[in-house]
Amino acid sequence: MPIVPRHLRDSLSLPRLLLALQRGVWPLADQGLIAAASFATLIPLGRALTVDDFGAFTLVYAMLHFANSMQSGLITQPHNVLGAMRRGEDYVRYTSSTAVSQIFLAVLSAATALVAWIVAKSFGAGVAPLLLAAVPATVAWQCHEFLRRVLYTELRIGSAFGIDLIAYGGQMVGAAVLWHLNMLTGPTMMYLVGVACACGAVVGLWQLRNSLARHFDRSVVAENWHFGKWIAGGSIIGEWLSAQLLVFLAAAAMGAAAAGVLRAVHTMFGPTRILAQVFSITLPTRLARTLAGDGLGMFRADVRRTLLLAVPVLGAYCLLVATFARPLLTLVFGEKYREYGGVLALYAVSAFLTYIYMIGTAVLRAQRLTRPIFVSEVIYLLVVPIGALLIPVWGIYGVVVGLIVGDIVLLAFVWRSYLRAVRKDESATAPPESEIPMPATAGGMLP
């Protein structure tokens, strides 16, 4: 019989302050590591490759992110919320069943990449070596991501940081070595991602050996699907058929270099993504526990405190990047990107709106309101024609304007959904009018 991890039995007995510190410092360090790895790998890669080759890598890399978005919606985000409510053998059964779903998704993603490589190879496309390298990379990356997110559910953030140090630290060291040896190319970088993530996954599997067993429950798959289908669908419709489709349309209209430029300006916001990803990953679990244990009032207070922290910090960084866009982009990626300083300045607006939207969706997931997230992404799909129509007029600037308009629509709808849900909960918990005590008169008698 599997041994129930000690942290699952004792975590709620720790002092609240200690838990708050643990949940705050380790996630920040973990996301800082991931952002640092992005800087330390994509920046030398952008400098080593031509803008066109960097754009080709960006497009293939985006497809890996697409697979990870499906994983997030159907596997890891459900585990972070639904798994947080389970204890003991019930948790082991749930995690083991979810792991089976993860294996199936990873194999399906690898098979898709393999088919794409066969097609590209048959047509003699230059992107074929990248697609072949993506086959092992997507499996290793997904396995590593699943294990680290399970560790987040179990509040073992330090352990998650440890396997991320292996995976992302290995990528940084490997990229530096390949760059020094003049061997840093798109395919070698993709293989490096696969090897480093596989090493991290092996250690993560050992750390979670007591949380996994030979259990498979179809009801767990159905529960995860019911929770995550709207999130996964929202990612496909909103993020990929809208935002990412604009990137692919820009590459089709202006060449792969357009995707490379958009990736470069996106990389410049790595520091703010540290904090935004901390909120996105940890808020659903923390707020779900607050709502279940302390009620709606404390839940709303936690949301307000999060916004008071996030908005000034994220806004200040985005404003700083927009102000010094051209010299910053030239300093980081080189002279070949100097002419795109205006793109970076405009993109700062989209980045800030996206971060606030991420916080909003984290709040909705804590309330199990995943359907509004999906609906907001469907609405966002209407923005695609705007950005596509602006590409012939404003070029790459049209793509960014389309992103900004879409971000505004998403943000407005998500926060409206949150406020409506709060008002509904308040009405449901308010006592009936007949039970509200009436004030007494001076003589102590009711009028």
Q: Does residue 255 share a domain with residue 375?
A: yes
Number of domains in the chain: 2
Domain boundary among 216, 248, 266: 216
Domain that holds residue 49: 17-216
* 129 and 57 share one domain: yes
Q: Please check whether residues 145 and 185 belong to one and the same domain.
A: yes
Angle at 197 between CA 32 and CA 163, to 5 degrees: 55
10 Å CB burial of residue 358 (0-12, 13-18, 19+) is buried
Residues 87 and 176 in one domain: yes
Is residue 398 a part of any domain in this protein? yes
The per-residue pLDDT for 9 is: 45
Of 408, 409, 316, 296, the closest CA to residue 363 belongs to 296
Residues 385 and 291 both lie in one domain = yes
* Tens digits of residue pLDDT in 265-285: 988 887 787 778 777 777 887
pLDDT of residue 17: 42
61 Cβ contact partners less than 8 Å away, ≥ 6 residues apart: 190, 263
Span 356-413, pLDDT tens digits: 988 888 888 888 887 887 787 777 777 667 777 888 888 889 889 988 988 888 888 8
* pLDDT beyond 60 at 63: yes
Domain assignment present for residue 446? The answer is no
Q: Do 200 and 120 share a structural domain?
A: yes
Whether residues 238 and 149 fall in one domain: no
Q: Is the pTM of this model over 0.95?
A: no
Average pLDDT of the segment spanning 103-121 = 95
